[in-house]
Amino acid sequence: MKLSDQKQQFKNYLKEIDYYREALSLIHWDMRTKIPTKGVEQRSEVAGFLGEKIHQLQTSKQMEAYIKELKPNTDDSILLRTIEVCEEEYERNKKIPHKLYKDFMITQTKSEAIWQQAKENDDFHLFRPYLKKLVDFNREFASYWGYENNIYDALLHKFEPGITVNELDHVFPKLRSSLRSTLEKVQTSAVKPDPSIIQVHFPKQQQVAFTEQLLKQMGYDFTSGRLDETVHPFAIPLNQNDVRLTTRYDENDFRMAVFGTIHEGGHGLYEQNIDPRLARTPLATGASMGIHESQSLFWENFIARSYPFWEKNYDLFLQYAPHSFQNVDLEQFYQTINEVKPSFIRIEADELTYPLHIMIRYELEKALINEEIIVDDLPHLWNEKMNDYLGITPPTDREGVLQDIHWAGGDFGYFPSYALGYMYAAQIYHTLSKDFPVESLIRTGDLTPIKSWLAKSIHQYGKLKEPLEILTDVTNETLNPDYLVQHLEKKFKAIYQF
């Protein structure tokens, strides 16, 4: 067979895998947004079937043959990188029995639905048996994948290649110390924003209209995506031309929807601007969850929570907001949306305390996977860490251990990517600021140069590059948490006048 024919067959094989992946993604979107309660059981079986098919194709003898025959015989950089990614998936996942993976997919899908019920009813016991199974699955997967120093490294690698427990345990304590120091200065400051002036009834439909305007301003393409409502906001790419966002509305606190939607919009922009040449390959996605989070947090915190952003958009906001906001001047508004106050819910956390939420989850799930704690102990251990890190104790499990969907989805090793992404975002913003008058652009409302710079520097590459390679190429240095520390210190020193 001609090499060119073999390459085409390989591309067609990858398309088949991607067709199943897209169908599975659509199922996950539907289950988190639209599915009737009684439909969960049978839909879980479909998800398990599709997940098993993907696993079979990724670990087949045919895949092995394509890798062996094509890898040494191509100088096409995209094809070579595609083969390398497929090879890593093959080597990792061929060790996992198909039946085990199918059982995991079924359990995972059921677990997400049960988690929603458990959260609504504040019933950890309902979710507990599913969580135990998912922890066991992840331990077993990690043992199949292998690791050098810590079993949790095998799970970290899935979401953030190049990052290990050793590195996190070096970086996180330093970051925690800096955050706690700034938090103490904020809490002892005499300056106290008054959140009551913005926590007024704000009808959902008016929030929808306003947030859609902001997404358009960012450059999110609604002809290639949509915005829906869900319990826990997320973005899910079916393909480059169908990148779906979800958000959650609180009619008594508009900040949830506004900043949550912009956050998911950052994910959406990433997926919509991947090089079309990567379509239907495993490269047509983000380099890692940390790089993905860097984009969502870049837009949410460094753009949308900035003063110049609201200099431009406050008048637009007032067109949709309740009349009482007419009595709130821009300065008051800016200070209040940036209020620092330890809170129970991660996705509602302020910029300063947000990474502390991530560290709590990282420490708990690392301990779970290392069998240092058990699932039954999670609720009280969660509350203890919340009190230790943030000085508050959740009154219910709904506001504590049940608040996030990630464990229900079996995504152990995921949480550190949020804090890593925040540090990446600060580093990327610092670099961008040297190339562009960023604040001036934000103030004019012309965000196109920023979007284009991100697309050119990061988005277009998809998974062509490793995450730390992208960071180094863009910023000319490896991970440096100092930029985040400096950003937060400078911002809140100005707001709280310490």
Distance CA 436, CA 238 (A): 33
**Are 299 and 218 spatial neighbours (Cβ–Cβ below 8 Å)?**
yes
Asked if residue 267 belongs to a known ligand binding site, the reply is yes
CA atoms within 13 A on the CB side of 99: 0
Which stretches within 188-237 are classed as H helix?
Answer: 204-218
Q: Which H or E run contains 247? A: strand 242-247
Residues 6+ apart with CB under 8 A from 62: 13
**Residue 307: inside a domain:** yes
Task: Tell me the catalytic residues.
Answer: 264
Residue partners of 492: CB distance under 8 A and separation at least 6? 182, 185, 186, 338, 340, 352, 498
In DSSP terms, 245 is beta-bridged to: 227, 235
Residues 278 and 414 in one domain: yes
The reply, when asked if residue 459 is annotated as ligand binding, is no
Q: Which of 273, 305, 267 has the alpha carbon at shortest distance from 289?
A: 267
Q: What is the DSSP letter of 222?
A: G
211/109 same-domain check: no
Same domain, 275 and 404: yes
Are residues 126 and 170 part of one domain? no
> Are 194 and 107 in the same domain?
no
CB 227 within 8 A of CB 245: yes
Could you list the pLDDT tens digit for every one of the 498 residues in the chain? Answer: 788 889 999 999 999 999 999 999 999 999 989 899 899 889 989 998 999 999 999 999 999 999 999 999 999 999 999 999 999 999 999 999 989 999 998 999 899 999 999 999 999 999 999 999 999 999 999 999 999 999 999 999 999 999 999 999 999 999 999 999 999 999 999 999 999 999 999 999 999 999 999 999 999 999 999 999 998 899 999 999 999 999 999 999 999 999 999 999 999 999 999 999 999 999 999 999 999 999 999 999 999 999 999 999 999 999 999 999 999 999 999 999 999 999 999 988 999 999 999 999 999 999 999 999 999 999 999 999 999 999 999 999 999 999 999 999 999 999 999 999 999 999 999 999 998 899 999 999 999 999 999 999 999 999 999 999 999 999 999 999 999 999 999 999 999 999
> In terms of domains, do 327 and 195 share one?
yes
Angle at 234 between CA 231 and CA 240, to 5 degrees: 145
| Same-domain status, 307 and 454 | yes
| Domain count across the chain | 2
Same domain, 103 and 189: no
The answer to whether 487 is annotated as binding is: no
Domain presence at residue 143:
no
Residues 277 and 349 in one domain: yes
Range of the domain at 18: 3-130
Give yes or no: residues 50 and 198 share one domain.
no
196 CB burial (10 A radius; 0-12, 13-18, 19+):
exposed
